[in-house]
Amino acid sequence: MNQLITTQNNEQGEIIISGRELHEFLEVKTAYKDWFPRMKEYGFVEGQDFSSFLSGSTGGRPSQDHHIKIDMAKEIAMIQRTEKGKEARQYFLHLERMWNSPEMVIKRAMDFQQQKIITLETQIQEDKPYTSFGKVVSMSDGAINIGHFAKILYDDHGINIGRNKLIAWLRDNGYLIKQEGAEKNLPKQKYIEQGLFKVRPTIVKRTSGDVQSGTTLVTGKGQVKLTEVLLQEFKKAI
């Protein structure tokens, strides 16, 4: 079927069309500025069924137009009770069948994954000035605990890894000590010397006597370095 009316996809991937273009196709005699408010009276809601925007103009002021979702467009076409309305409705039903076909569902999924990869690669490129020149994050000291770092990874970079999984990842990748004992989950000395971690001494009070322990902190430099590594890992997992 030939393209009768131009379609687009909104940010949610839904099919939308121009209200003015639909008005023109249906050959409605009433002016668009009077016709569309009458269509809204059938129960359509802005932000749910349509959105307003100003269309370009070759002369004078831009015109009011609307992005209409496919369900609203079908109902409007049916309301007209004309041959053009019937033709438009059949066209919209055809678009829906095509949109929901297995081939299109797979294509949209692949496009979505590709966009995620592009977004991650862009983020890595944007972060390179910090990692290349050893800049630390803009904090007075920059050192934070692993739970806080896990939250930053999720909030700022979309890496969904909690505190416990992050600790396990740091152990498995050789940054933290694996062996059981007082030093478990403390950073290895070479990474402390590289400035990626600090250890904050803590005293654990026990009936048998106070025991000195330590809390692992990720420095500003460590946050930048580990974020770059984790972004690369996350990209491979997609």
Mean pLDDT for 198-223 is 77
Mean pLDDT for 69-94 is 91
Q: How confident is the model at residue 45 (pLDDT cuts 50, 70, 90)?
A: very high
pLDDT at residue 107 in the model: 64
CA distances for 214 relative to 17, 179, 186, 199, 232, angstroms: 61, 15, 7, 6, 30
For residue 166, is it within any domain? yes
Residues 95 and 25 reside in one and the same domain: yes
Q: Which residue has the higher pLDDT, 122 or 25?
A: 25
Query: Looking at 76, 100, 124, which one is the last position of a domain?
Result: 100
Give the integer Cα–Cα distance in Å for 107 and 3: 20
Q: Please give the residue range of the domain that contains residue 55.
A: 7-100
Residues 68 and 142 reside in one and the same domain: no
For residue 106, is it within any domain? no
Mean pLDDT for 32-45 is 93
Query: Looking at 49, 80, 100, which one is the last position of a domain?
Result: 100
pLDDT above 80 (res 137): no
For residue 79, is it within any domain? yes
Which of 147-151, 154-158, 197-201 shows the highest mean pLDDT? 147-151
pLDDT at residue 123 in the model: 66
Mean pLDDT for 42-54 is 92
Pick from 43-47, 49-53, 206-210: least confident: 206-210
Q: How confident is the model at residue 138 (pLDDT cuts 50, 70, 90)?
A: very low
For residue 37, is it within any domain? yes
Say if pTM beats, i.e. exceeds, 0.85. no
Residues 171 and 81 reside in one and the same domain: no
